[in-house]
A and B are shown apart, each in its own frame.
Chain A
Amino acid sequence: MKYVSQFFICLLILGANTLFAQNKHFITSGVIEFERTANMFALVKKKVTKHTMENKPFYEQYLRTEPQFRTLKSKLTFDNNTTLFTPTAPEKGVHWWYDTPMANQLNHVFSDLNTRTSIIQKEFYERTYLVKDSLRNIKWKMTDETREIAGYKCRRANALVLDSIYIVAFYTDEIHVSGGPESFNGLPGMILGVAVPHENVTWFATKVTDTSVDKKTLVPPKKGKEINNKQLKEEILKATSTHGDYSIVELKGLVL
């Protein structure tokens, strides 16, 4: 009898589930560090088009002498449904032979998710623009795929931006801010990773700090010529009109 009762006690212990729902803490303010990786081999190759075959030796030299990946850092500060994306100045520039807009971080992005507006300070070669417009509206296609980024479980969503650029984003529902690096936004949580496969560039969060943010640091950029998205596109197309079939590459790099 003793063994029988022991047996049933053990059975109860094994059978019982002692886990209870806990109130999860959701992050609404803090700082996220991102790392942007660009495949330079692919980007430099795009400078070699049918009409710019003279660039081919540069590309070949690049393959021989330079590293394949260029990694840049940035910081996303967020609080009270506003976000500020600030690139960290690169330690090393890209030689002008190989330079292309997609190799660099050109934007300081301030987004107000409540009013759905953004202010972007954009470097355009020697010029600086201050683009004031509504937030980029992205149609996200949700998936079941998940992966972990910077310790957070993220869900994958796919989208097309600027009519034709395919992007893959990963967001976490543990950060209740619908923002992301650069101008990516609109998912039910913070975007911690973006890959733009055909443009050979990715952003991934390396560190998420859950902290309160000093209001003074979360202010929109001010420098530059005020402009909206439509005007910006016109300006870019005008400025690169002599660049032939490379101009579309430049446009993508400048507006993404």
Chain B
Amino acid sequence: MRFKIVTLIICCCCTFTALAQTNYAVKGIVSDTTTNVKMDQATISVLDARDSILQKFTYADKGAFNISNLKPGKFLIMVNYPDYADFVESFTLDASKPVYNFGNIKMILQSKLLNEVIIKAKVVAIKIKGDTTEFNAAAYATQKNAKVEDLLKQLQGMKINQSGVIIFQGEPVTKILVDGEEFFSDDPGLVSKTVRADMVSKVQVYDQKSDQAKLTGIEDGVKVKTINIVLREDKRKGVFGKVDGGYGTDDYYTGQMMFNKFDPKKKIAAYGNIGNTGNVGLSGDNNSKYGAGYSRGNYGGNGLPFARDGGAHYDNKWNNDKQSINANYKIGALTTEGSSNTMTQNNLPDNFNKTTSNKSFRRYSFNQNLDADFTSKLDSTSDLSASVYGSIDPGTSDNKTQSFTLRGNGVLLNDNDVSSIGSNNYKYMIASANYTKRFKKKGRSISLNTRGSSSQFRSDNYMKSDLKYYNGMGELDSVNSIDQYKPTASNSNSVSAGFSYNETLFKSISLSASYNFSQSIGTNSQLSFDKSTDRYDKLDSVFSNNFKVKTITNFYNLRIGYTTTKVNLNIGTGISDADSEQKDQLASADLNRRFTNWRPNARFTYQLSKAAAITLNYNGNTTQPNDYQLQPLRQNTDPLNITLGNPMLKPSFNNSFSFNYRLYQPTLDRGINFNANYGRNINTIVYNRVTDSSGVSTSQWSNLTSKQPTDWKVNTEFYGHATKLNFILSLNFEVDGRNSFNYVNGQLNESKSIDYSPYVSIWANTATYSYNFNIGPKYYLNSSSLQQINNNRHGFFTDLGFSTKLPYNFFISAEMNYQYTAKNKVFNQDFSRVLLKSSIGKTFLKEENLKITISGNDLLNQNTGFSRYGSIDSFTETRNTTIRRYFMFSVTWDFAKFGKSLQPQQ
């Protein structure tokens, strides 16, 4: 009894004390955020909010916890569970709230959390923002003294094809900027071979408007795939470059020099290149102004080249960056000699002709170009910019072609010997100026622009042709000989001026209206002279033309844009009204035409999440027939293929749609690129051919209204990082399809083709070794409705490459390229080729910047230029001479000095 009383008293006392000093406590339940499972044994710690001193801790019992006997104050609760992200939250205990209940604490798996927030510790390789894809150079390892090219090769979605064209997600990159500025007039090949990989902090890829659209504000639907190389802060000031020389068997040699001096405000660069190994990569050209890849002045693997070129770049900003200048000069000469063999099957209704031709050629071109941009901020609200570009391009050519055509039954139809020798010169100049004034209201601005251009083309050709026709028995029927002198002269001058007005409504909507006026005057004379006795002075009026064309065009453009952080929508339309007057100087016949061209477009970009974005694009485009399609001019340069103009042509209209989806998950280092394009042409301009019984094809353009040709392309890439083996795996699937129409001998021909090329790529790069492996089959479906026999074919390719460092600073690398195209019903020969290249060498000096290399090109001596393709009404296969096996000894010296002292390289 006494015991009971004591107990009771003690209990009461406890209760009293408890009442007197409130029991401060915190409680809650810990569970997994996705599965809602209660997390038993999670660790819960209570820390003092001021100094993080541990107050109390406990382990959760089936997720529930209750920590009592705390003092009042400010605290932090920390919940931990292995593999889960820490949960930390502050709370306060005071008299008014002595017990803090956290309720349900949701824990997130670290692996899941990392997908949603980008953590600092790991280098995130790719960032997708709107239509820009940004690569972090730190995530990609390159060897010492590597160039930007070596970095680009590693980027997911980026490829460099055999002719050196950089392709991103299936589209060629036509511009590389350095820190947002033009460097060597946006010659991608040159920039990627000059700038060092260790200078790069980021690589951004996006679509830019064409230079012309930027100047005039008039949307032309042209998207220029652009790479911007962002330099590292500590590499913006320095001197770097390379000297390279090599000599090999069969008198092959190369020499290269590059020098660059970079300053945050000033860049000076110069390069020189000489060689006959086809390594003309440095002389890629200003393609954005000429279109068509990096082709001009480039050696496409056809023939044996001898190249000499050089160039210089200068840019400078001064007066607090208010004024800047950016100038480039390039000079280059290229001689190419070679021969080619072409087999063409021309499809006819229920029949075909097969032409075999052998051609030998020698070409020489010498081009120089200069461009300069000047910009000035007149004051805080107005800018003025001016640019000028000029080029001179003389050259000579000497071609000899022997060809013969067999009928479908194998009986000789005709044979022809053509030779032409001549010289040509092309001069071009363009100057433009732009003034922009911004108003007080944000987004309101007006800009004025003007442009003038002049081009001049001259050529002098001597042509001889000996064409023999054979009858159905294969006996000589008649002979047609041509021996003519053909001078050509064309001039074109144009001026334009315009303005655009921009306005912003409700912060997110922008409006823009533009007007432009242009006038161009062109003359075009193509004359043919027959030989009288010893001089070519007898004008052949049938094959001579002399025109003068004057065109006045008015452009109107209206665009509305909507931009928020996630959405970017642009809808616009352009209308142009062209009025042209043509005078035939020889026949004194005039022709006046008027074209109204409509150009609607829309672009929608949506940022789905931090990791993914989509872009939808629509472009409607009126294509006006060009002069050659319209002119009733006659040519006899190829007496077997005669083209006639059609003055009755109307413009065609093309609708094209594209869809792009990009996803990248930083923590897993994997992603998707998906591109789909579809185009449909209305009122299309088709090329109709009439081949007569003697094998002469006469072609004329016309509008096709009954059918609409389509083309489509799907390009899918899945890529991921195999973390254990440390390589990147990319699965690609490309399908390319089109159907096109024309009339052949009055019968409608439909040509269909679908190319399937799935392939797998694996690559890995570290500072000491790298390897890559690509493999894939190719299927081409190609048929013509005129023919029973299709040109379906299949093939296969694989590329294999590796390079590695060896002990004592030796290194070795090898590259193998295998290509196979099976014979088919049209071409009765398989084609297979193995190209093997290898090099071994040794590096010297601490930074490994002196290198001696012995390399072997085409070790198996199997290289032949080969291509096989199907056009609308013919199937063609070409083989041509190209560079084959040689061995070369070369010495390379890379130099780099950044900041005040030599920087250690990564």
Residues of A within 8 A of B (CB): 3, 7, 10-11, 14, 17, 19-21, 23-24, 26, 139-143, 153, 155, 157, 173-174, 176, 178, 186-189
Q: In the complex, which of the residues A26, A153, A187 contacts B54, with contact meaning CB atoms closer than 8 Å?
A: A187
A157, B41: Cβ atoms closer than 8 Å: no
Question: What are the residues of chain B within 8 A of A19 when measuring CB–CB?
Answer: 109, 111-112
Q: Does B80 contact A (CB under 8 A)?
A: yes
Q: Does B771 contact A (CB under 8 A)?
A: no
A1 to B663, CA, bound (A): 21
Q: In the complex, which of the residues B34, B57, B83 contacts A188, with contact meaning CB atoms closer than 8 Å?
A: B57
Q: In the complex, which of the residues B35, B59, B78 contacts A142, with contact meaning CB atoms closer than 8 Å?
A: B78
A23, B82: Cβ atoms closer than 8 Å: no
Number of residue pairs spanning A and B whose beta carbons lie under 8 angstroms apart: 78
Question: What are the residues of chain B within 8 A of A155 when measuring CB–CB?
Answer: 80
Question: What are the residues of chain A within 8 A of B78 when measuring CB–CB?
Answer: 142
Question: What are the residues of chain A within 8 A of B37 when measuring CB–CB?
Answer: 21
Q: In the complex, which of the residues B34, B47, B665 contacts A21, with contact meaning CB atoms closer than 8 Å?
A: B34
A187 to B41, CA, bound (A): 15
A140 to B84, CA, bound (A): 23
A-B contact pairs, 6 of them (CB 8 A): A14-B665, A24-B81, A139-B53, A176-B59, A187-B54, A188-B45
Shortest C-beta distance, B833 to chain A (Å), equals: 30
Contacts A141-B53, A142-B45, A174-B82 aside, 8 further interface pairs with beta carbons under 8 A come to: A19-B109, A21-B35, A24-B41, A141-B54, A153-B82, A173-B81, A188-B43, A188-B45
Shortest C-beta distance, B658 to chain A (Å), equals: 15
- With contacts A19-B112, A139-B54, A142-B54 taken as known, whether A24 is within 8 angstroms of B82 at the C-beta atoms is yes
Shortest C-beta distance, A9 to chain B (Å), equals: 11
Question: What are the residues of chain B within 8 A of A178 when measuring CB–CB?
Answer: 57
A145 to B338, CA, bound (A): 68
A187 to B716, CA, bound (A): 53
Q: Does B714 contact A (CB under 8 A)?
A: yes
Q: In the complex, which of the residues B34, B52, B733 contacts A141, with contact meaning CB atoms closer than 8 Å?
A: B52
A153 to B84, CA, bound (A): 12
A190 to B627, CA, bound (A): 86
Question: What are the residues of chain B within 8 A of A189 when measuring CB–CB?
Answer: 43
- With contacts A3-B714, A7-B716 taken as known, whether A26 is within 8 angstroms of B52 at the C-beta atoms is no
Q: Which B residue sits closest to A157, measured CB to CB?
A: B54
List B residues 654-670 near A (Cβ within 8 Å).
663, 665, 670
8 closest A-B pairs by beta carbon, nearest first, are A188-B57, A21-B32, A173-B43, A140-B54, A142-B52, A26-B41, A173-B80, A188-B43
A217 to B795, CA, bound (A): 75
Interface residues contributed by chain B, number (CB under 8 Å):
37
Q: Does B674 contact A (CB under 8 A)?
A: yes
Question: What are the residues of chain B within 8 A of A26 when measuring CB–CB?
Answer: 41, 59
Q: In the complex, which of the residues A3, A20, A142 contacts B47, with contact meaning CB atoms closer than 8 Å?
A: A142
A140, B39: Cβ atoms closer than 8 Å: no
Contact with A along B523-538 (1 / 0, CB 8 A): 0000000000000000
B112, A23: Cβ atoms closer than 8 Å: no
Shortest C-beta distance, A181 to chain B (Å), equals: 19
Q: Does B40 contact A (CB under 8 A)?
A: yes
A140 to B51, CA, bound (A): 10
Q: Which A residue sits closest to B84, measured CB to CB?
A: A21
Shortest C-beta distance, B781 to chain A (Å), equals: 15
Question: What are the residues of chain A within 8 A of B59 when measuring CB–CB?
Answer: 26, 176, 188
Question: What are the residues of chain A within 8 A of B109 when measuring CB–CB?
Answer: 19, 21
A142 to B76, CA, bound (A): 11
Shortest C-beta distance, A58 to chain B (Å), equals: 42
A155 to B47, CA, bound (A): 14
Q: In the complex, which of the residues A11, A17, A142, A173 contacts B115, with contact meaning CB atoms closer than 8 Å?
A: A17
Question: Residue among B34, B43, B111, B112 with the most chain A CB within 10 A?
Answer: B43
Contact with A along B833-862 (1 / 0, CB 8 A): 000000000000000000000000000000
Determine the main DSSP class of A at the interface with B: loop
Q: Which B residue sits closest to A146, measured CB to CB?
A: B86
Shortest C-beta distance, B75 to chain A (Å), equals: 12
Q: Which A residue sits closest to B39, measured CB to CB?
A: A21
Question: What are the residues of chain B within 8 A of A14 when measuring CB–CB?
Answer: 663, 665, 670, 672, 718
Q: Does B25 contact A (CB under 8 A)?
A: no
Q: In the complex, which of the residues B34, B111, B716, B718 contacts A3, with contact meaning CB atoms closer than 8 Å?
A: B716
A155 to B670, CA, bound (A): 31
- With contacts A10-B672, A14-B665, A21-B32 taken as known, whether A188 is within 8 angstroms of B54 at the C-beta atoms is yes
Q: Does B735 contact A (CB under 8 A)?
A: yes
B115, A20: Cβ atoms closer than 8 Å: no
A176, B663: Cβ atoms closer than 8 Å: no
B670, A176: Cβ atoms closer than 8 Å: no
A143, B43: Cβ atoms closer than 8 Å: no
Contact with A along B731-751 (1 / 0, CB 8 A): 001010000000000000000
A198 to B83, CA, bound (A): 34
List B residues 49-92 near A (Cβ within 8 Å).
51-54, 57, 59, 78, 80-84
Shortest C-beta distance, B39 to chain A (Å), equals: 7
A11 to B53, CA, bound (A): 47
Question: What are the residues of chain A within 8 A of B112 when measuring CB–CB?
Answer: 17, 19
- With contacts A19-B109, A142-B54 taken as known, whether A173 is within 8 angstroms of B35 at the C-beta atoms is no
Question: What are the residues of chain A within 8 A of B733 when measuring CB–CB?
Answer: 3
Shortest C-beta distance, B737 to chain A (Å), equals: 11
Q: Which A residue sits closest to B51, measured CB to CB?
A: A141
Q: Which B residue sits closest to A176, measured CB to CB?
A: B59
Shortest C-beta distance, B450 to chain A (Å), equals: 47
Question: What are the residues of chain A within 8 A of B674 when measuring CB–CB?
Answer: 7
A20, B54: Cβ atoms closer than 8 Å: no
B663, A140: Cβ atoms closer than 8 Å: no
Question: What are the residues of chain B within 8 A of A24 when measuring CB–CB?
Answer: 41, 81-83
Q: Which B residue sits closest to A152, measured CB to CB?
A: B82
Shortest C-beta distance, B37 to chain A (Å), equals: 5
Question: What are the residues of chain A within 8 A of B43 when measuring CB–CB?
Answer: 173, 176, 188-189
Question: What are the residues of chain A within 8 A of B57 when measuring CB–CB?
Answer: 178, 187-188
A176 to B61, CA, bound (A): 13
Shortest C-beta distance, A38 to chain B (Å), equals: 28
Contact with A along B648-686 (1 / 0, CB 8 A): 000000000000000101000010101000000000000
A143 to B718, CA, bound (A): 41
- With contacts A141-B53, A142-B47 taken as known, whether A3 is within 8 angstroms of B672 at the C-beta atoms is no
Shortest C-beta distance, A173 to chain B (Å), equals: 4
Shortest C-beta distance, A161 to chain B (Å), equals: 14
A7 to B659, CA, bound (A): 13
A3 to B115, CA, bound (A): 27
B41, A3: Cβ atoms closer than 8 Å: no
Question: What are the residues of chain B within 8 A of A20 when measuring CB–CB?
Answer: 32, 34-35
Question: What are the residues of chain B within 8 A of A140 when measuring CB–CB?
Answer: 53-54
List B residues 7-62 near A (Cβ within 8 Å).
32, 34-35, 37, 39-41, 43, 45, 47, 51-54, 57, 59
Shortest C-beta distance, A195 to chain B (Å), equals: 18
